[in-house]
Amino acid sequence: MESNIVELPSKNAFLKDLDQYPPESLRDPRLFVSRELSLLEFQKRVLSLALDDAIPLLERLRFLSISRALLDEFFEVRVAALKQRIQHGAARPGPDGLTPLHTLAMMRESALDIVNRQYGAWQSVLRPALAREGIRFLEASSWTERQRSWLHSYFRRELLPILSPLGLDPAHPFPRLLTKSLNFLVELHGRDAFGREGSVALVRAPRSLPRLIRIPVSYTRGPYDFVFLSSVLQAFMAELFPGMEIVGSHQFRVTRDSELLVDEEEIEDLASALRRELMDRGYSEGVRLEARQTCPPNVQKFLATRFELSPEDVYLCDGPVNLYRVTEVIDQIDRPDLCYPARRQQMPRRLVSKTDLFAEIRRGDILLHHPYQSFSPVLDLLSQAAVDPDVLAIKQTLYRTGVDSQVVNLLIEAARAGKDVTAVVELRARFDEDTNISLATRLQEAGVQVVYGIVGHKTHAKMLMIVRRERRKIRRYVHLGTGNYHSGTAKLYTDFGLLTCHQEITEDVQNLFQQLSGLGRVIELKRLLNSPFTLHPGLMDMIAREAEHARAGRPARIDAKLNSLTEPKIIRALYDAARDGVDVRLVVRGMCCLRPGIPGVSENIRVRSIIGRYLEHSRIYMFENGGERETWLSSADWMERNLFQRVEVAFPVLEPELSERVRREAIETAWEPRTEAWDMQPDGTYERTPEPDGRKYRHPQKRAQKKIPR
């Protein structure tokens, strides 16, 4: 790996450099943040919640686990992609001017910092705080004799029959190890029963084993005492190698590339091809090796060589390598005072005590704001449609729905009741492929027409259409959303959904379903924007229109709420609009490759990130449009993949009252005084909004809940 690495400058140095050498064009690489480094900045913000005393203790533990899972996914996806580009000689720099090799080196420095912060949070902050609440994670050195005796018995009874130690020699080569599985490399001395000289052995911890073991109360001083599986295996490892001396025992795990390589142009059955690929996903190329800090350099080198990794791919941990498993204790602890208080989801006022949802939708559009408002109206509408004799057809997209999906059950019920049901199932939703294949099979067996979307384009749009005969007229009812048709995530993610029977919108949705399931030329839509056809040019036109309003002295503002902002043309268009006087406010939860606050370029742009109890997931585009505000909701972030490589939909909120609700509940709450958030700096880092003098922060999610009409 190259050693002459370009380092990201500090904020002051960065601004000074721009003062001395201002950008000559909006293509200047200094105007773009590396998406990988921006994603790691997001993970630091998530991790900071694990250290926030204002958050209940068990929720802080959950945030620590989330940060660990996010870092795993970062290596499985982003680092793996960079390594693939380097391997195939694709060394062209991105908009940020960094080659894949430079990005990988800079990413390692930031990732190492995150790992150190994670284990620092665990060892120095969360673990002691949990112990003060009677929730202890016991190391072997602190076990009492009775506890050691019970754990020894547990090892012999529950673990020993399952474990299969493997001595490494020419007859037993280093095996394939499952991604992110817990393993031990054991150094041995002595001769075994066959006279073989001991050297090295491998012990794998099957996924069927619990990673945390709770000690019975009768053996402890506190109500909740736990031991990591890794500690138990370490303590009694000698029993797996009778008569041998254990010189060293070192836990480790390898993270592998998660991308499924399926050439959709060359296969006849996508589901079958994905099934074959899923069998090998856990054994693809390695991208990271994790080991305990106590692991000797020679063992690190031995393991890295076996996984074809370099020393830069090794990450040492001050604690269990599978630390993300700590959240398993939350379900075993009855301490509601250490968790977020339960919140009751509201039902939209118009739908309380109403049984005919079709009649209510005919009265006017209905806006749902999850998780503050219940997802049940969507399920109720689908349930009503399944048994309504006037309903002729149901069409729906399914991206992530969960294992036990109410939506899928209702679609099956509708098909069995004689409705014509079509489901567009996206099999390639990352990490949900297996679940979606099973759901698709269930649907097909019930007589549902299952479509897998468009070759080369993931179907990410969230659409449900119900076709109903009303007297002599056919009417369509539609639900469009920013989130998935998943009852569980509807309680955890902030999303918007719209129920409507607006003729032009429902006609557009029908045309989109026709496009997804059939063949034909691009259909011109009247109200909706869709990728990969009209969404990107439509956004570019609306940004340019806003700039024109600003130049003419008319009201001009762009408000957007996104998960990520990375698409270079959109970023340059926002820079252009800001230079023309447009006030741009961006609420971007995760990656943001735009730099705000650069003199002469983005002084009129502010970027804010909100992280909290709920995952900020809704996508909102709002344009002041000279005083005739337009509000759009969408399934699409402003990323290359969403705008060019997916089937996405953006839909307008046409009723002024509902548009105002979106502004009030999701946009203004992010920018009100005393808001708890993170502001992006020109150098790509984030600073928490200043704490109010003598007053408490107010979190936007709490404000949003209070602003919803009751």
Residue pair 557/668 in contact by the 8 Å Cβ criterion: no
Cβ-in-10-Å burial (0-12, 13-18, 19+) of 141 comes to exposed
Residue 281: predicted pLDDT: 55
Q: Which residue has the higher pLDDT, 672 or 427?
A: 672
CB neighbours of residue 113 within 10 Å: 12
Place 6 in a pLDDT band, splitting at 50, 70 and 90: very low
Residue pair 682/596 in contact by the 8 Å Cβ criterion: yes
Calculate Rg over the CA atoms of the chain: 28
Residue 426: predicted pLDDT: 85
Angle subtended at Cα 287 by Cα 286 and Cα 290, rounded to the nearest 5 degrees? 95
* Coil/strand/helix, residue 593: coil
Place 145 in a pLDDT band, splitting at 50, 70 and 90: very high
Residue 5: predicted pLDDT: 39
Residue 2: predicted pLDDT: 35
Residue 24: predicted pLDDT: 82
Enter the DSSP assignment of 175: P
Residue pair 532/457 in contact by the 8 Å Cβ criterion: yes
Q: Which residue has the higher pLDDT, 444 or 14?
A: 444
361: CB partners within 8 A, 6+ apart = 381, 477, 499, 500, 501
Residue 431: predicted pLDDT: 67
Predicted confidence (pLDDT) per residue in 218-261, tens digit: 999 889 999 999 999 999 999 999 988 999 999 999 999 887 55
Residue 403: predicted pLDDT: 73
> Is 117 annotated as belonging to a binding site?
no
Cα(82)–Cα(34) distance, rounded to whole angstroms?
12
Instruction: Select from 438, 495, 509, 501 the least CA-distant residue to 473.
Output: 501
Angle subtended by helix axes 406-416 and 433-445, to nearest 10: 20
- Three-state secondary structure string covering 621-664: EEECHHHCCEEEEECCCECHHHHHCEEEEEEECCCHHHHHHHHH
Task: Please list the residues that pair with 587 across neighbouring strands.
Answer: 561, 608
Residue 273: predicted pLDDT: 55
Amino acid identity, position 637: D
Q: What is the mean pLDDT of residues 595-611?
A: 96
Cβ-in-10-Å burial (0-12, 13-18, 19+) of 509 comes to buried
Cα(204)–Cα(206) distance, rounded to whole angstroms?
6
CB neighbours of residue 664 within 10 Å: 15
Predicted confidence (pLDDT) per residue in 335-366, tens digit: 999 999 998 899 998 898 878 999 999 999 99
CA distances from 399 to 33, 198, 487 (A): 30, 51, 13
pLDDT surpassing 60 at residue 3: no
Instruction: Select from 304, 216, 207, 298 the least CA-distant residue to 252.
Output: 304
Task: Please list the residues that pair with 493 across neighbouring strands.
Answer: 615
Instruction: Select from 535, 529, 542, 634 the least CA-distant residue to 582.
Output: 542
CA distances from 425 to 274, 421, 442, 505, 618 (A): 13, 12, 12, 22, 21
Domains of the chain: 113-338 (3.30.1840.10), 349-521 (3.30.870.10), 530-707 (3.30.870.10)
Instruction: Select from 553, 554, 598, 549 the least CA-distant residue to 577.
Output: 549
Cα(42)–Cα(36) distance, rounded to whole angstroms?
10
Beta strands 646-652 and 678-680: pairing type? Answer: unpaired
pLDDT surpassing 50 at residue 196: yes
pLDDT surpassing 80 at residue 195: no
CB neighbours of residue 462 within 10 Å: 24
Strand ranges of the sheet holding 245-256, from the earlier edge strand across to the other edge:
166-167, 200-205, 182-189, 245-256, 286-292, 314-317
> Is 589 annotated as belonging to a binding site?
yes
Backbone angles phi, psi at 249, to 5 degrees: -135, 120
Residue pair 618/561 in contact by the 8 Å Cβ criterion: yes
Place 11 in a pLDDT band, splitting at 50, 70 and 90: low
Residue 197: predicted pLDDT: 72
Place 1 in a pLDDT band, splitting at 50, 70 and 90: very low
Instruction: Select from 634, 642, 643 the least CA-distant residue to 662.
Output: 634
Catalytic hit among 250, 370, 460, 479: 460
Residue pair 214/135 in contact by the 8 Å Cβ criterion: no
> Is 493 annotated as belonging to a binding site?
yes
Residue 437: predicted pLDDT: 83
Residues of the chain above pLDDT 70, percent: 93
Instruction: Select from 502, 505, 503 the least CA-distant residue to 527.
Output: 505
Place 171 in a pLDDT band, splitting at 50, 70 and 90: low
Residue 659: predicted pLDDT: 98
Any idea which of 13-22, 133-142, 197-206, 614-623 has the lowest mean pLDDT?
13-22
Q: Which of 76-80, 442-446, 580-584, 696-700 has the highest mean pLDDT?
A: 580-584
pLDDT surpassing 50 at residue 469: yes
Predicted confidence (pLDDT) per residue in 633-643, tens digit: 999 999 999 99
pLDDT surpassing 80 at residue 406: yes
Place 613 in a pLDDT band, splitting at 50, 70 and 90: very high
Q: What is the mean pLDDT of residues 16-22?
A: 77
Q: What is the mean pLDDT of residues 651-676?
A: 96
pLDDT surpassing 90 at residue 429: no
Angle subtended at Cα 597 by Cα 596 and Cα 601, rounded to the nearest 5 degrees? 85
Q: Which helix or strand (DSSP H or E) is residue 468 part of?
A: strand 462-470
Cα(341)–Cα(337) distance, rounded to whole angstroms?
8
Q: What is the mean pLDDT of residues 148-165?
A: 96
Q: What is the token pair recorded at 535?
A: 């969404």
Strand ranges of the sheet holding 212-214, from the earlier edge strand across to the other edge:
135-137, 224-228, 212-214
Residue 279: predicted pLDDT: 55
Residue 267: predicted pLDDT: 47
Cα(418)–Cα(206) distance, rounded to whole angstroms?
46
Beta strands 529-531 and 646-652: pairing type? Answer: antiparallel
Place 15 in a pLDDT band, splitting at 50, 70 and 90: low
pLDDT surpassing 90 at residue 434: no
Q: What is the mean pLDDT of residues 446-470?
A: 92
Predicted confidence (pLDDT) per residue in 76-86, tens digit: 999 998 998 88
629: CB partners within 8 A, 6+ apart = 622, 623, 659, 663
Residue 447: predicted pLDDT: 94
Residue 621: predicted pLDDT: 98
Q: What is the token pair recorded at 270?
A: 């996508």
Residue 460 is among the residues annotated as catalytic for this protein: yes
CB neighbours of residue 181 within 10 Å: 15
pLDDT surpassing 90 at residue 497: yes
CB neighbours of residue 45 within 10 Å: 18
Any idea which of 63-77, 133-147, 600-614, 680-694 has the lowest mean pLDDT?
680-694
Any idea which of 90-94, 377-381, 488-492 has the lowest mean pLDDT?
90-94
Residue 265: predicted pLDDT: 46
Question: What are 571-574's contacts with CB under 8 Å, separation 24+?
Answer: 571/31, 571/32, 571/95, 572/26, 572/27, 573/539, 573/540, 573/543, 573/544, 574/543, 574/602, 574/605
**Global pTM value:** 0.92
Average pLDDT over all residues of the chain: 91
Q: What is the mean pLDDT of residues 653-657?
A: 97
Residue pair 603/577 in contact by the 8 Å Cβ criterion: no
Place 690 in a pLDDT band, splitting at 50, 70 and 90: confident
Residue 225: predicted pLDDT: 96
What is the secondary structure of 124-162 as a DSSP string? IIIHHHHHHTTEEE--GGG--HHHHHHHHHHIIIIITTT
CB neighbours of residue 353 within 10 Å: 5
pLDDT surpassing 60 at residue 368: yes
Place 418 in a pLDDT band, splitting at 50, 70 and 90: very high
Predicted confidence (pLDDT) per residue in 258-316, tens digit: 875 544 444 445 556 555 555 555 678 999 999 999 999 999 999 999 999 999 999 99
Residue pair 294/250 in contact by the 8 Å Cβ criterion: yes
